[in-house]
Amino acid sequence: MFGVWVIKEALVAILELKGLGKNFGKNVAVNEIEMSVEEGEIRGLIGPNGSGKTTLFNLISGFLKPTRGMIIWQGQEITGLPPHVVTRLGLVRTFQLTALFSEMTVMQNVVISCHLHTGTTLWQQFRHSAETRRKERETEEKALNLLESMGIADRKDEIAAELPHGHQAALGIANALATGPKMILLDEPVGGMNPTETSETMDRIKMLRDRGITVLLVEHDMRAVMTTCDKITCINFGNKIAEGAPQMVCNHREVVEAYLGEEMACSL
């Protein structure tokens, strides 16, 4: 019985971190994190400012090289691979600063992100112009679909930097989706949003899961985290201090002491 359970666990983990750590000089930003994310779940990553959440994202997505430990993606080690390779493997992150190409239109942003995925170069565009025009139309259709699914298709001709905050976040997610990910890492997707924008964004994140995309989410809005995540991991000073169902983590003594505080914990 126990053996069967172990095999099932091994099959469903899409991302595993084994003893993952990062030092900046003498500062241990992330310290030997063990973590396993199941395919199709929305995992919340919480913890106080400076606890290592963004560093962990940068390690997983290849923007930083770990000091120690391993990153296993769909059963294969990807430790130390550069970001564009990690993206091609289906693991992509968004940034706290959302719009990638702030001076371009919303549509141009997603079209470029689609090209980053397909790897079409300008030279190829000159060589096969008829074929490329057909592909270009397909890409625009795909980009428009992505904008529709994020609820911002009516903003397609606006300059990205001029969008309201909530729509910039939606564009950040659309850009990430354009790369065809299996898993998406979202860094504070509702930071600075009003309650309506927050609940719309969280609904879109749930929609990603419904499409089969696994989500790892860093967010300080605890109500949003509690109502969206299947499971939560809490870190403090680069160490994992609790992991499990949202209600369990929010009642965890160390999580309350290090991060939530009594008042917040009781109100959740």
Ligand X SMILES: Nc1ncnc2c1ncn2[C@@H]1O[C@H](COP(=O)(O)OP(=O)(O)O)[C@@H](O)[C@H]1O
Strand partners, 33: 20
What residue has token string 């259709």? Answer: 141
In this structure, what token pair is assigned to residue 34?
């063990």
62 lines the binding site for ligand X (CB under 6 A): no
In this structure, what token pair is assigned to residue 43?
């995992």
15: closest CA among 144, 148, 175, 182?
A: 182
- Minimum CB distance to Mg ion, residue 53 (Å): 5
- Minimum CB distance to ligand X, residue 194 (Å): 23
- Minimum CB distance to ligand X, residue 162 (Å): 27
Contact partner, 166, from Mg ion, ligand X, none, Cβ < 5-8 Å per class: none
97 lines the binding site for ligand X (CB under 6 A): no
Q: CA-to-CA distance for 52 and 79, rounded, in angstroms?
A: 18
Tally Cβ neighbours within 10 Å of residue 161: 11
Count of residues interacting with ligand X (CB under 6 A) = 11
Count of residues interacting with Mg ion (CB under 5 A) = 1
- Cβ atoms of 218 and 235 within 8 Å: the answer is no
52 lines the binding site for ligand X (CB under 6 A): yes
Distances (CA, A) of 221 to 79, 85, 214, 230, 260: 30, 31, 20, 15, 11
- Cβ atoms of 182 and 213 within 8 Å: the answer is yes
Contact partner, 21, from Mg ion, ligand X, none, Cβ < 5-8 Å per class: none
- Residues 6+ positions from 71 with CB-CB distance below 8 Å: 15, 16, 17, 18, 20, 59, 60, 77, 78, 79
Task: Figure out which of the listed residues 16, 21, 44, 55 binds ligand X, where binding follows CB under 6 A.
Answer: 55
Where in 3-32 is the site for ligand X (CB under 6 A)?
A: 24, 27, 29
**Site track 196-235 with ligand X (rule: CB under 6 A), x = hit:** ----------------------------------------
54 lines the binding site for Mg ion (CB under 5 A): yes
Stretch that binds Mg ion, among 48-56, 85-93, 138-146, 259-267 (CB under 5 A): 48-56
50 lines the binding site for ligand X (CB under 6 A): yes
- Cβ atoms of 224 and 186 within 8 Å: the answer is no
Stretch that binds ligand X, among 52-60, 139-147, 158-166, 225-233 (CB under 6 A): 52-60
Q: Given the rule CB under 5 A, which residues bind Mg ion?
A: 54
Site residues for ligand X per CB under 6 A: 24, 27, 29, 47, 49-55
